[in-house]
A and B are shown apart, each in its own frame.
Chain A
Amino acid sequence: MSEVLARLEELPTSPAEPPPGAIEGRSPWQLAWARLRRDRVAIACAVVIVLITSVAILAPLISLLLGHERDTQYLETGLTAEGLPRGPSAQFLFGTDDLGRDVLVRIAYGAQVSLLAGVVASFVAVFVGVVVGLTAGYFGGALDGFLARFMDVVLSFPFLLFAIALVSIVGPSLRVAIGIIAFFSWAAVGRIVRGQTLSIKEKEYIEAARSLGASDVRIMFVDIFPNLLAPVLVYLTLLIPAAIVFEATLSFLGLGVVPPTPSWGNMLADSLSFYRVAWWFVLLPGAALLTTTLAFNLLGDSIRDAFDPRGERLFRR
């Protein structure tokens, strides 16, 4: 400490020289993006997702090119003499289903449903979850107590059972399915956001903002929210495949998309009775579903790794 005394007398207030050059600092986002770009698996997943999205968007075009409508039953050309589905051929690239419809075209349209349900439900869930979690974590007190408990209750609900109950009253549809998925997903996001908010709230820079006279709203949006974006983004990419699976499950049980509109879920439900004679009817939509979810999960893992390379990967390769 006496060194300090000595130095106090002599030193002028000169700073340690920072590195020269007026370089723009690289934000954590830019750093993460740079890391992500170098990750080959992430790129592969991104390509797959873009591919599937293109197929979904271009489904009508595919239908046109192949000359087969989505819901039309090609009883002459599509079914065998006994009335069973035909396998993959030059005419029906992915074969036909139990009603003589083109499986490839229906898979393409099914992609629309899956992606729509997955993305929309996830975004709604994230939005609600962030708002609730941020409010609960920031304001604390009785409000937090109530919201936290509420989220815990929602999380432990038997969601499928309640989906059954709800659909039995209002009837199945894609919209209802998305609503159900969003309702049972937001709590997970909310819990994470609340936890993050609670720990950020204790940091000194929040106290500094308060001492500057910042209002609560400003602190929440300018100081806390940017620190939430990264974990929320990671969670979003893991939430989408979960939502896709959820929709497929609901459709499989007849609680989601109503036939004849194809969803990978209800196609697989139909295939249940025909798997002995039509493997393509099971395996091809199944492969589409599995590929989609795998791609999103792996991508989510890579994104998490890009933001926090020191952390443990969920699915190490």
Chain B
Amino acid sequence: MASSALRSEEYDADVLVRVENVVKRFRASGRRPRGRDEVRAVDGVNLDIRRGETLGLVGDTGCGKSTLARCITRLYDLTSGRVVFDGHDISKLSRRRLRPYRLQMQMIFQDPYGSLNPRRRVGSIIGDPFAIHGIAAGAERKRRVQQLMELVGLNPEHYNRFPAEFSGGQRQRIGVARALALNPKLIVCDEPVSALDVSIQAQIINLLHDLQDEFRLTYIFIAHDLLVVRHISDRIAVMYLGKIVELAETEELFARPRHPYTNALLSAIPVIEEDGGGRRQRILLQGDVPSPIDPPGGCSFHPRCPKAQHRCSGEEPPLEVKLSDRPDHVAACHFPVEPGEDLGFTWQRATEP
């Protein structure tokens, strides 16, 4: 039986995006032996994204979070599964029929240097959405663009400048302005601050936060930095090799991580030692993330998991509630970590220097 974290049957109106069993496979390039020619970037994901929330999506590089985001916004075609946006099934729509939905879901990209066309002026870049959808033109477009620029904290007089004349943080603001132009309902932020200096990251995140309040936006926030995600997200989904392995409200996840992988991620967060505080145990995972072309059978984490037992290599664990008192906290593990459990003697230890 599906838990309320995944399927809010009762609150359907509150679900903006429903992701049902989405699978995305890519052809691997080059010559490969039989049966090993596909990369399962997203391997069966079920998710509800609620209106107005910020869902954080974390995981190692290659776990499929960016791919999942692009499947949701239909920048990719789905290999199988459904995506329902605001009650409409957009899974198989052609590019032309998707156009009206493009108004409602937008994306902010990671690379402030690559996501803006260096040969176009900033005003033209931000005004692109208006031009593409024929919404405003001429002086009206300019006015709206300048409004947007002010909104994100840019000087509207810089309308005619080129991206090269802006700093990294400012360029991300340009990207935000472009994404906001058409009043979308959903904005997918694909590692929007990873390429920025630390002090600028804070500014951008606060900007996103403020805009969310003002415009009632829904965010999917992808990152690999857990502390950043923690600050902005309402719920966090942890992905590994194309699957969601844990999903919970933010503080719940940090307080009581159930999946061993989540535990390892959290333990890697550097923390300033408080006076007299205990030394944290760093959990070092053995081995590397396996290739998504040839994932292990059963639970895909089992080769590196110290709690793995025979069952784990054969049977894939379903994503379900693990603690009876928290129905919105789900994890995919046969032997989830109990609160307070010491994973010590079976793990390699490294104490923080």
User: Is the beta-carbon distance between A18 and B160 smaller than 8 angstroms?
Assistant: no
Residue count of chain A within 8 Å CB distance of chain B: 39
Bound complex: CA A83 to CA B173 (Å): 82
Q: What are the 7 A-B residue pairs with the smallest beta carbon separation, nearest first?
A: A213-B102, A22-B157, A25-B161, A7-B202, A204-B114, A15-B153, A204-B115
Interface check B120, CB cutoff 8 A: yes
Which of A27, A204, A209 sits near B128, CB closer than 8 Å?
A209
Which of A11, A209, A210, A213 sits near B133, CB closer than 8 Å?
A213
Give every chain A residue within 8 A of B231 (Cβ-Cβ).
Answer: 5, 8
Give every chain A residue within 8 A of B228 (Cβ-Cβ).
Answer: 1, 4
Query: Considering the complex, which residues of chain B in the window 231-268 have a beta carbon less than 8 Å from any beta carbon of chain A?
Result: 231
User: Is the beta-carbon distance between B178 and A208 smaller than 8 angstroms?
Assistant: yes
- Give the number of A-B contacts (CB < 8 Å): 127
* 9 A-B pairs with C-beta separation under 8 A: A1-B270, A3-B198, A3-B199, A5-B227, A207-B109, A208-B175, A210-B75, A212-B129, A214-B132
Bound complex: CA A226 to CA B73 (Å): 27
Please report B residues at the A interface, Cβ cutoff 8 Å. 73, 75, 98-99, 102-103, 106-107, 109-111, 114-122, 128-129, 132-133, 153-155, 157-162, 165-167, 169-170, 173, 175, 178, 198-203, 205-207, 210, 225, 227-228, 231, 269-272
User: Is the beta-carbon distance between B202 and A11 smaller than 8 angstroms?
Assistant: yes
Q: A13-B203, A15-B173, A16-B169 are in contact. Are A223 and B117 (CB under 8 A)?
A: yes
Q: A3-B199, A28-B119 are in contact. Are A14 and B153 (CB under 8 A)?
A: yes
Give every chain B residue within 8 A of A208 (Cβ-Cβ).
Answer: 107, 109, 115-116, 175, 178
Which of A15, A211, A218 sits near B169, CB closer than 8 Å?
A15
Give every chain B residue within 8 A of A22 (Cβ-Cβ).
Answer: 157-159
Q: A205-B114, A205-B117 are in contact. Are A27 and B203 (CB under 8 A)?
A: no
Closest residue on chain B to residue A223 by CB atoms = B117
Give every chain B residue within 8 A of A14 (Cβ-Cβ).
Answer: 153, 203
What is the distance, in angstroms, from A147's C-beta to the closest C-beta of chain B? 21
Give every chain B residue within 8 A of A26 (Cβ-Cβ).
Answer: 162
Give every chain A residue within 8 A of B129 (Cβ-Cβ).
Answer: 212-213
Bound complex: CA A16 to CA B207 (Å): 13
Interface check A203, CB cutoff 8 A: yes
Give every chain B residue within 8 A of A209 (Cβ-Cβ).
Answer: 128
Bound complex: CA A226 to CA B170 (Å): 23
User: Is the beta-carbon distance between A218 and B206 smaller than 8 angstroms?
Assistant: no
Bound complex: CA A258 to CA B346 (Å): 91
Please report A residues at the B interface, Cβ cutoff 8 Å. 1-5, 7-8, 11-16, 18, 21-28, 203-205, 207-215, 218, 222-223, 226-227
Closest residue on chain A to residue B272 by CB atoms = A2
Give every chain B residue within 8 A of A15 (Cβ-Cβ).
Answer: 153-155, 169-170, 173, 203
Bound complex: CA A5 to CA B270 (Å): 12
Give every chain A residue within 8 A of B173 (Cβ-Cβ).
Answer: 15
Q: A8-B205, A13-B207, A212-B106 are in contact. Are A24 and B160 (CB under 8 A)?
A: yes
User: Is the beta-carbon distance between A13 and B153 smaller than 8 angstroms?
Assistant: yes
What is the distance, in angstroms, from A123's C-beta to the closest C-beta of chain B? 22
Closest residue on chain B to residue A22 by CB atoms = B157
Give every chain B residue within 8 A of A215 (Cβ-Cβ).
Answer: 132
Which of A1, A24, A213 sits near B132, CB closer than 8 Å?
A213
Bound complex: CA A209 to CA B173 (Å): 17
What is the distance, in angstroms, from B225's C-beta to the closest C-beta of chain A? 7
Closest residue on chain B to residue A227 by CB atoms = B119
Give every chain A residue within 8 A of B269 (Cβ-Cβ).
Answer: 1
What is the distance, in angstroms, from B313's C-beta to the closest C-beta of chain A? 35
Give every chain A residue within 8 A of B207 (Cβ-Cβ).
Answer: 13
User: Is the beta-carbon distance between B201 and A4 smaller than 8 angstroms?
Assistant: yes
Closest residue on chain A to residue B181 by CB atoms = A212
Bound complex: CA A207 to CA B109 (Å): 9
